[in-house]
Amino acid sequence: MQYANSVIDLIGNTPLVRLSRTLDLPETASDGPLVLAKVEYLNPGGSVKDRIATRMIEAAEASGELQPGGTIVEPTSGNTGVGLAMVAQQKGYKCVFVCPDKVSVDKRNVLKAYGAEVVVCPTAVAPEHPDSYYNVSDRLASQPGAWKPNQYANPHNPRSHYETTGPEIWEQTEGKITHFVCGMGTGGTISGVGRYLKEQNPDIQVIGADPAGSVYSGGTGRPYLVEGVGEDFWPDTYDRTVADRVIEVSDADSFAFTRRLAREEALLVGGSCGMAAWAARQVAHELAAEGRTDAVVVVLLPDSGRGYLTKIFNDDWLAQYGFASGAQADQRTVGEV
């Protein structure tokens, strides 16, 4: 019989799938470059963050920071929370999550469904404000039995990608990867994967994708709507030496491309995936123009589109922010059917 003892054992080993129609490459590029998406929504908690959740919890158990019956407290935009809630539930810990109000209600309800508690904080306050989600989580984490994984500073965040995501990509591409494209929130994914890949082959180009306005692409932290990526500060988990280049992507391009991925590649993924894949498409066009048919570009897609059905996949929500919804399927009213 083939089965896992717990969903925890199903984390990682996500597949690569070729992107085709959305790349819009010229006919001359039919032999390459090859663009492959690493589909992280196939993790049991639905995102790349399952990987860091297991690794951070196991490390805290080993160091004694997390004791039996303890409470995990974390400020999270949802995905890290799901990973932590899933692993914590299986291991018998309580969870309290603190998240900004821009996080979709769908995402918050997922955390509650796993049995976690959710505290919502205003986005429109500075990080040093007592109601900021950083400060609220610090107060909760100072209570007895509480442990804060702190994904923005925990070395086991990038390490989990150095030990799992990076080696998977290297093996799946049989060492042929030439470019790695990835969005950056905590920077854990790009730092861990990028370091591992460059150790295997220093010629591999590591390319960050960043929302316009975020510090990673030279912005001041000006607000943007894409969730889970971009920062207004430099997290400890981000290794500034690893990215060879950062491509800035607008919310409009991120959302339009997220919708194209669903409609043309049948990949129902989140907005940060559209952002990263848009940057990968740009890289592929540059490579095609240089005749680099040998190039193998891997882009990491962190989560599923299910959490954004009322936002990115909702025409009214897009229109409210002045974004075009792109080509629509024909809609008929009941009377017309």
Judged by the rule CB under 6 A, the positions of this chain that interact with ligand PMP are 77, 79, 183-189, 227-229, 270, 272, 302-303
What residue has token string 């989140």? 270
Catalytically annotated residue among 49, 107, 148, 198: 49
Q: Taking Cα atoms as reference points, which of 158, 216, 153 lies closest to residue 189?
A: 158
Given a contact cutoff of 8 angstroms between Cβ atoms, the answer to whether 99 and 77 are in contact is yes
CA distance 188 to 239: 8
Token readout for 207 is 């390319």
Beta carbon nearer to ligand PMP, 71 or 254: 254
Token readout for 7 is 């969903």
CB 311 to ligand PMP: min, Å: 12
CA distance 138 to 123: 16
Beta carbon nearer to ligand PMP, 100 or 187: 187
Beta carbon nearer to ligand PMP, 25 or 164: 164
Q: Taking Cα atoms as reference points, which of 233, 303, 264, 235 lies closest to residue 41?
A: 303
CA distance 97 to 233: 21
Beta carbon nearer to ligand PMP, 227 or 248: 227
Beta carbon nearer to ligand PMP, 251 or 303: 303
CB 126 to ligand PMP: min, Å: 20
CA distance 306 to 183: 19
CA distance 88 to 82: 10
| Residue 33: cis peptide before it, omega within 30 degrees of 0 | yes
CB 246 to ligand PMP: min, Å: 12
Beta carbon nearer to ligand PMP, 71 or 165: 165
CB 237 to ligand PMP: min, Å: 7
Helix (H) or strand (E) holding 300: strand 296-301
CB 182 to ligand PMP: min, Å: 7
Beta carbon nearer to ligand PMP, 74 or 227: 227
Given a contact cutoff of 8 angstroms between Cβ atoms, the answer to whether 193 and 162 are in contact is yes
CA distance 156 to 215: 23
Query: C-alpha angle 315/320/321, rounded to 5°?
Result: 105
CA distance 65 to 179: 38
Respond yes or no: is residue 107 known to be catalytic.
no
CA distances from 249 to 62, 76, 113, 153 (A): 40, 23, 33, 25
**What residue number has its CB nearest to ligand PMP?**
228
148 contact partners, CB below 8 Å, separation of at least 6: 72, 73, 74, 137, 138, 141
CB 140 to ligand PMP: min, Å: 20
CB 180 to ligand PMP: min, Å: 13
> Which sequence positions are flagged as catalytic?
49
